Structure 1
Amino acid sequence: MSYIGVIFLNVIFPMLILLAIGGALQKKFNFNLRALSNLITYCLMPATVFVNIYLTEIDPQLLVEIMVYLLLFGGTLIILGSIFSKLLKLNKGQSAVFKNSVSLINSGNYGLPVSQLVFQTHPLGMAVQIIVLVFQNVLTFTYGLYNLISATKSGLEIVRSLFKMPIIHALIAGGILNALNIPIPQFLWLPIEHLSDAIIAVALITLGAQLIQIKFKFLDKVIIAGSIGRLIIGPAVALAFIYIMGIEGIVAQSLFIASSFPSSRNSSSLALEYDVEPDRAAQTVLFTTLLSSLTVAFVIYLSTILFLQ
């Protein structure tokens, strides 16, 4: 089976099943989507980020090199997102969704399975993906959250809202406990781990429940531009910085592939939580996820040619 077929069967299709389950359940039971969103934002997301940060073990030299790359890559996408949102003359809500769709990447429930498939015999490739995942978690709940809050609030209200978020506390706690190598008792670790494990199913079922209520607008300029930015411009920017920095081999391949994943589902969950263009955000996540079955396969193929000679 081709790369495209394998990726679709093992990554995209399971997601579509969960989305379909969410849509079917929503039609039958009419869930309170705001309540589900609160569950994700205030419980499951903090647990997921805490677990990722607490468990990640990084070689210091490799971490520095990758972090410099990620800051350049992420910063460039943020700047490009701001420029194009002005060129497209988007309002505050549309601009927040567009900028998040370009800069926030689904490195978790999409990126990790793809990486496990590609780097089965290369643990270094998976280690790089974990670093990218942690960086994306931080970016999502700082810059991404700021975008959405600033669409409805300003000034000190934004800062207060950011520091009230449990995800910020989880980031700090996970980082401190990791750095100090403090063990967590099993009776505390197990419930945190169970909450972390639950986010993929709950988030995708919630997204499916949200999508079933949406009237699709496939020609919407925000969705189309966001998809181009995430799936085409993103990998192009990544490739440029990989060559500029002289990154090679498995690390280069892993970073290049990580840049090609679709828009983060967390951006849709947060848009629903703060009621900032939630339908458009959900459509962008779905649209980029579907298209990525082709674009990610191409990037994987290209990465083997460019970096594994």
Structure 2
Amino acid sequence: MTYLSMIFFQIVAPILILLIIGAILQKKFKFNLKALSHLITYCFMPVAVFMNLYETSVNLNVLTQVAIFIFLFIGANIILSHYIAKLLKLNRTESAVFKNSVVLINSGNYGIPVAQLVFQTQPIGVAIQVILVIFQNVTTYTYGLYNLISATKSGIEIVKDFVKMPILHALIIGVSLNILNIKLPETLVIPLNHIADGFIAIALITLGAQLSQIEIRTIINKTIIISCFTRLIVGPALALLVIWILGLEGVVAQSLFIASAFPTSRNSSSLALEYDVESNIAAQTVLFSTIVSCLTVTFVIYLSTILFG
């Protein structure tokens, strides 16, 4: 077995299997996806984020490197998607969905599980992915909402929604306890570890259940294919360029490179549905990019070990 196939079968295939399990269970039992989404948003993901940051030391230099990378990478994707949308002559609503599909990345319930599998012995890799999730959420509720602007929510309400996000509170508390070197009692740590350990399975099964409701019939069209190519191929290429420009190396460079290859965020579909802007195309893009990412993410992980391992 080659190293490339080993990466697929040990990292990507388990994710794909959990997605399929979620899709099968959803077809049979018709889960309340909103309830499952709340369970992840308000319990599993915040606890997983908290435990990772509570137990991992991230120095200021690494935080600075990650912040600069994210600013340049997201900026480049915003500019690129804007001009591609113009070249494709998309109308206003199609353009908004296309740009979100390129810029908004599934760093949460796809990215963190991948990072936890890849960086099992290097917690800093997972910590960097957690930081990326925060930045992606900021991008989603600023740039993403700007693209799908609606009269139903004002700028102040958007800020209030962001401040209420449990993952933000988990980040602050986890970092604070880490810096202050405050130790939690084992009675609390044990159940928190149990919840954190369950995050991968619950997040991916839920994502599979969500994707199973998307119609595949009209999934193959020019806009969706170009969107996925830009997100999954051009995105990592841009990230590699930024990494080289910044002179990043080791686990930091590897983690950022892998994170750039994740598929379109399910939030891009959720926002499109909430604001009634080309929601079918948005959902189909999420499904298609998630399926194709099984191959592209495998290759990017393999390439990252060659370049930065």
TM-score by length of 1: 0.79
Identify the residue that residue 2 of structure 1 maps to in structure 2: 2
How far is the alpha carbon of 1:82 from its aligned partner? 4.8
Say if 1:160 and 1:85 are closer, same or farther in 2 by CA, change over 3 A: farther
Identify the residue that residue 241 of structure 2 maps to in structure 1: 240
How far is the alpha carbon of 1:42 from its aligned partner? 2.1
How far is the alpha carbon of 1:93 from its aligned partner? 8.5
Identify the residue that residue 213 of structure 1 maps to in structure 2: 213
Identify the residue that residue 291 of structure 1 maps to in structure 2: 292
User: How far, CA to CA, are the matches of 1:55 and 1:134 in structure 2?
Assistant: 13
Identify the residue that residue 41 of structure 1 maps to in structure 2: 41
User: How far, CA to CA, are the matches of 1:307 and 1:208 in structure 2?
Assistant: 31
Higher mean C-alpha deviation, range 14-23 or range 275-284: 275-284
How far is the alpha carbon of 1:214 from its aligned partner? 1.8
Of residues 87, 110, 113 in structure 1, which corresponds to 2:114? Answer: 110
Identify the residue that residue 256 of structure 1 maps to in structure 2: 257
User: How far, CA to CA, are the matches of 1:45 and 1:247 in structure 2?
Assistant: 28
Kept after mapping to 1: 8 A contact 2:97/2:272: no
Aligned: 1:195 with 2:195: yes
Kept after mapping to 1: 8 A contact 2:101/2:285: no
Aligned: 1:132 with 2:128: yes
User: How far, CA to CA, are the matches of 2:48 and 2:271 in structure 1?
Assistant: 19
User: How far, CA to CA, are the matches of 1:149 and 1:189 in structure 2?
Assistant: 37
User: How far, CA to CA, are the matches of 1:249 and 1:159 in structure 2?
Assistant: 35
Kept after mapping to 1: 8 A contact 2:254/2:305: yes
Percent of pairs identical after alignment?
Answer: 47
How far is the alpha carbon of 1:299 from its aligned partner? 3.5
Kept after mapping to 1: 8 A contact 2:18/2:205: yes
How far is the alpha carbon of 1:57 from its aligned partner? 0.8
Amino acid at match of 2:289: T
- Which residues of structure 2 form unaligned runs of 5+? none
How far is the alpha carbon of 1:263 from its aligned partner? 3.8
How far is the alpha carbon of 1:232 from its aligned partner? 1.3
Kept after mapping to 1: 8 A contact 2:8/2:298: no
User: How far, CA to CA, are the matches of 2:98 and 2:48 in structure 1?
Assistant: 23
Identify the residue that residue 230 of structure 1 maps to in structure 2: 231
SS at match of 1:7: helix
User: How far, CA to CA, are the matches of 1:270 and 1:183 in structure 2?
Assistant: 38
Q: Deviations over 1:153-193 (max 9, x none)?
A: 23212112212222222222222222222222222223333
TM-score by length of 2: 0.79
Kept after mapping to 1: 8 A contact 2:219/2:285: no
Kept after mapping to 1: 8 A contact 2:97/2:268: no
Say if 1:305 and 1:274 are closer, same or farther in 2 by CA, change over 3 A: same
